[in-house]
Amino acid sequence: MSREMTGAEMVVQTLIDQGVTTLFGYPGGAVLPIYDALFQQDSVKHVLVRHEQGAVHAAEGYARSSGKVGVVLVTSGPGATNAVTGLTDALMDSIPLVCFTGQVPTHLIGSDAFQEADTVGITRHCTKHNYLVKSIEDLPRILHEAFYVAQNGRPGPVVIDIPKDIQFKSGKYEKPRDNQHKTYRPQIKGDLSKIKAAVEMIAQAKRPVFYTGGGVINAGPHAAQLLRELVRATGYPITSTLMGLGAYPAHDQQWLGMLGMHGTYEANLAMHGCDLMVNIGARFDDRITGRIDAFSPGSKKIHIDIDPSSINKNVKVDIGIVGDCAHVLEDMVRLWKDVAGQVDKPAIKAWWLQIEGWRARKSLAYKNSSDVIKPQYALERLEALTKDRKRFITTEVGQHQMWAAQYLHFDEPNRWMTSGGLGTMGYGLPAAVGVQLAHPKDLVVCVAGEASVLMNMQEMSTAAQYRLPIKIFILNNEYMGMVRQWQELLHGGRYSESYSAALPDFVKLAEAYHAKGIRCDDPAKLDAAIMEMIDYPGPVIFDCLVAKEENCFPMIPSGKAHNEMILPDFEGDTGEIIDAKGKQLV
């Protein structure tokens, strides 16, 4: 059944029909009709951000913590260009978003009109797909198609650019129908013969490792459940990328911790020394592989991914299975029962013994201090004092992000929101806003650095407006810590522009944003201060003054392989670790 309504009303009706309850946006001239339609209804809650980048990151946080599509509404020109960083972030991390952008009226397009930008041109490279709506007849189809494209296959951001005259025009609206998309039909079920071959290969492995990523999280909680079943049934070790944390419980014995540039010794050496690597929903990113020609040289590799272009892109694999992780895992769990008897138990036992040896190296150990708060200690205390609550963590980007990944432990999927692929400083605070809106009653902590958090600090105002009790836990070392660390390792300790000079007083800043400010620089008082933060019923900025020149270890230096890690008890000249060749790499 179709109804007559304006383009602006169609946008709002689509949100209702697609089950959207929250959207993030910022008004402007070219979207006024949509804002007017929003004003006249109560089904969809609009959250007013303070910058369009914040809107997109908030929608990302909302989407990642809830499994729903994040929705953004911004105006033309600067509204759209400000959203670009967030859209790129969502593309890199495969987060489903629909972003509506206003556009100047159709007859003005191309005339360099006020607040005109070629939004579809600009966002073509940073979205999964985008649309410019040129007639009201196309609008209902495009609106529903955008939600389909954002969620199906490898998820990603979709932009719909709607000229203002189209928002005013009347046309026939139809509810979404369950019909197949004309061209975009991603493969969901994996090829059964390949899955069989993979399961047999898994059963015959002597030194296997599971390497899982964000694809498992994106495939839904059911996929994480199936992953647990499969991994436990095999008894094999498992590690995960930054994006995949929480899919497998971090407190489990089979868990090796995160892998990659700042991963644990046991995870990286297991990757290096394995004879079979089972990649489920990860993409052999360069932060994972390190030096690619020395990456896991003796192993066969199985790769499960919903995106066919991920397979054999960076690393050649022996079996590539295209499909949704949940569907493929379901088949694997079922088929495992037939082959479980073939497992070479003595070999697996010997492999575990070797891994336990690496684990005993305690690569996350650090020298604590009673005078100054070590960032690792701050996060260990945050973990200890919050682990029993339903807790969501977002992060900014840098040393604090890696420490959070190392020292906070996740037993459930969708609890960890961090900018992985793009590495966007300024992600964490707005993402926390989005997470808190999706989970109003739960504890949401943004682990931040003092430099990153300033990039989208204005979103504290959003938190204040909607009374969101987010906790911004700043590990303040007065440096862009990761930049400083690389300058120490690569550039002779010449700290070019990486000192955070003229920092605001974060306690006063919190108060200016109607929030509570807490400062702590004494390890003995840290627990009480963290409890004060958790117990406060509103937003808090916690200025945790930490050791200034702590390095984030373990680390695989650039240009090195997994078995050439720097460990925290490294004693020597850090400036000599990376050779001339490595210094050229990112």
Q: Note the residues at the interface with other proteins (CB under 8 A).
A: 120-121, 124-125, 128-130, 132, 134, 149, 153-154, 182-187, 191, 286, 291-293, 307-309, 311-314, 316, 320, 322, 558-559, 581, 584-586
CB of 186 to other proteins, least distance (A): 7
Nearer CB in complex with other proteins: 124/367: 124
Catalytic annotation, pick one of 10, 18, 52, 396:
52
Q: How far is CA 298 from CA 351, 356, 579, in A?
A: 15, 20, 25
Contact 397, 424 (CB under 8 A): yes
Distance CA(289)–CA(272), nearest Å, equals 10
Specify whether 115 is catalytic: yes
Contact 527, 381 (CB under 8 A): yes
Catalytic annotation, pick one of 92, 271, 480, 482:
482
The HSE-up count of residue 301 (CA atoms within 13 Å, CB side) is 24
In the three-class reduction of DSSP (H, G, I as helix; E, B as strand; rest coil), residue 6 is classed as strand
Nearer CB in complex with other proteins: 149/267: 149
Nearer CB in complex with other proteins: 291/484: 291
Which residues lie below 8 Å from residue 441, measured CB to CB, with a gap of 6+? Answer: none
Distance CA(568)–CA(315), nearest Å, equals 29
CB of 191 to other proteins, least distance (A): 8
Catalytic annotation, pick one of 45, 114, 390, 581:
114
Nearer CB in complex with other proteins: 324/396: 324
Which residues lie below 8 Å from residue 345, measured CB to CB, with a gap of 6+? Answer: none
Distance CA(91)–CA(291), nearest Å, equals 25
SS3 content of the chain, % helix, strand, coil (to 5): 45, 20, 40
Q: Which two tokens stand for residue 215?
A: 């694809």
Nearer CB in complex with other proteins: 308/423: 308
Which residues lie below 8 Å from residue 491, measured CB to CB, with a gap of 6+? Answer: none
Specify whether 114 is catalytic: yes
In the three-class reduction of DSSP (H, G, I as helix; E, B as strand; rest coil), residue 58 is classed as helix
Nearer CB in complex with other proteins: 22/127: 127
Nearer CB in complex with other proteins: 389/581: 581
CB of 221 to other proteins, least distance (A): 26
Distance CA(375)–CA(546), nearest Å, equals 6
Catalytic annotation, pick one of 68, 128, 164, 471:
164
Strands (E), 245-369: 255-258, 276-280, 300-305, 319-322
Distance CA(15)–CA(42), nearest Å, equals 12
Specify whether 52 is catalytic: yes
Q: Any idea which residues carry the catalytic annotation?
A: 52, 114-115, 164, 482
